[in-house]
Amino acid sequence: MFHKLSLLVIIVALIFTGTVDAQIKNSKHDLSFSSTATVRTTTSGYEEVCVFCHTPHSKQSTSLLWNRTASTATYAVYSSPTMEATVPQPGGVSKNCLSCHDGTVTYASIVNNPGSGAGIVPAFSGTGKMDTTTAAVPAGLGTNLTNDHPIGFVYSTHRATDTGLRTETTSGSKISVQATSPARTLPLYGTTAGTASLECGSCHNPHGVSGVSMFLRVSNANSEMCLTCHIK
């Protein structure tokens, strides 16, 4: 049993420090001490990259082995007279992103820190939060999302009344929106077309995509990412 458990730990470690780390390392999402990112911990020796978002033994009830304290903020959400869907408060995967990007939760708000006992708590300069008040880099979204693309709505509900949106594709429990020339896919979050919603992670890959900036899932050259969903 011990050997099986040890093997499991090794496999998890490879997952968290292998392919994903190759994209995350030294990106803006790498807050470790040795990172070349502008924002990083000032705690010498704090070299874990993935821990700021994930842990192999999560205490959270959410998926993704999430390791951050959730934001308790209430958001002003997007609305438009031309949009049929009602935009709800952010939830699920988008709330995970906002645990940094709304600027209300510190970078150091990690549930399961590395090390024994309470672990090592990383220190950060300044407020230790993402700045939402200036043009600083990186600038957070804040809690006013009225000027940001809507998130959290069920895609098929809105698409049913908007002929300018592509029909979603279902493959098993994976729901996505796909387009061709060039081929591209944006994921929706849910296990059925009737529940799958568009979230931050539909357009952004927090682990990065080689050759694509802004953590976008696909290049937006010639508006290709926008045109994955929107028929124009």
pTM score, whole prediction: 0.87
Q: What is the pLDDT of residue 86?
A: 86
Q: What is the pLDDT of residue 138?
A: 66
C-alpha dist (Å) from residue 215 to 98, 117, 201: 15, 34, 10
Task: Return phi, psi of residue 7, to 5°.
Answer: -65, -40
CB 219 within 8 A of CB 157: no
- pLDDT tens per residue across span 99-134: 999 999 999 999 999 887 778 999 999 899 998 887
Which among 202, 153, 194, 199 is positioned nearest to 177, based on CA atoms?
202
Average pLDDT over residues 76-84: 89
Instruction: Name the token pair of 83.
Output: 């949009």
Q: In whole numbers, what is the pLDDT of the chain averaged over residues?
A: 87
What percent of the chain is predicted at pLDDT more than 70? Answer: 88
Q: State the Cα angle at 123 between 121 and 125, rounded to 5°.
A: 165
